[in-house]
Each structure stands twice: as structure tokens, then as C-alpha cells.
């Protein structure tokens, strides 16, 4: 019988990678949808644009849901 020991890590351990990458001094971020957004001049600009991207995605989903009857 297979079992889990108390010292074994739980199944809820998740590893995340950084979504921001730098290519030739320009910054990009990757999305869950598989797109690469950018280029941005600084990492801070890319981080701000991530927040704006998420807000746009939320708004688009809300718009689609509001039009569905």
C-alpha cells in the first residue's frame, strides 16, 4: 500500500517562474494565454503593464458575461 509520510511535501506545492524576461535590454512579460507582451524600456514599466493587462482581461470577461443572456 502506498502512503504519504508526515515529512513528505504535500501535493499543494507549486513553483512559479518569473513572467518578466529581458531580451537585448528590453523587457517583456508572458501571459497565461501564451502571448509575449512588450517591449518595455524598464522592468518597472513591464510590471505596471502587467497590472493594466490583467485589468483589461477582467473588463473584457465582464463585458462578455454581461452580453450573454
Q: What is the pLDDT of residues 9-23, one digit of tens each?
A: 666 554 556 899 999
> Are the C-beta atoms of 53 and 40 separated by less than 8 Å?
no
* pLDDT given for residue 1 in this prediction: 45
pTM for the whole thing? Answer: 0.68
**What are phi and psi for residue 18, nearest 5 degrees?**
-70, 130
pLDDT band at residue 69 using 50, 70 and 90 as cut-offs: low
> Are the C-beta atoms of 45 and 27 separated by less than 8 Å?
yes
Give the C-alpha separation, 40 to 30, whole Å: 13
Amino acid at each position: 500500500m502506498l502512503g504519504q509520510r508526515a515529512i513528505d511535501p504535500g501535493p499543494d506545492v507549486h513553483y512559479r517562474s518569473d513572467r518578466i524576461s529581458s531580451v537585448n535590454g528590453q523587457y517583456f512579460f508572458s501571459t497565461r494565454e501564451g502571448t509575449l507582451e512588450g517591449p518595455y524600456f524598464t522592468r518597472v514599466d513591464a510590471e505596471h503593464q502587467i497590472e493594466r493587462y490583467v485589468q483589461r482581461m477582467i473588463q473584457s470577461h465582464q463585458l462578455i458575461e454581461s452580453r450573454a443572456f
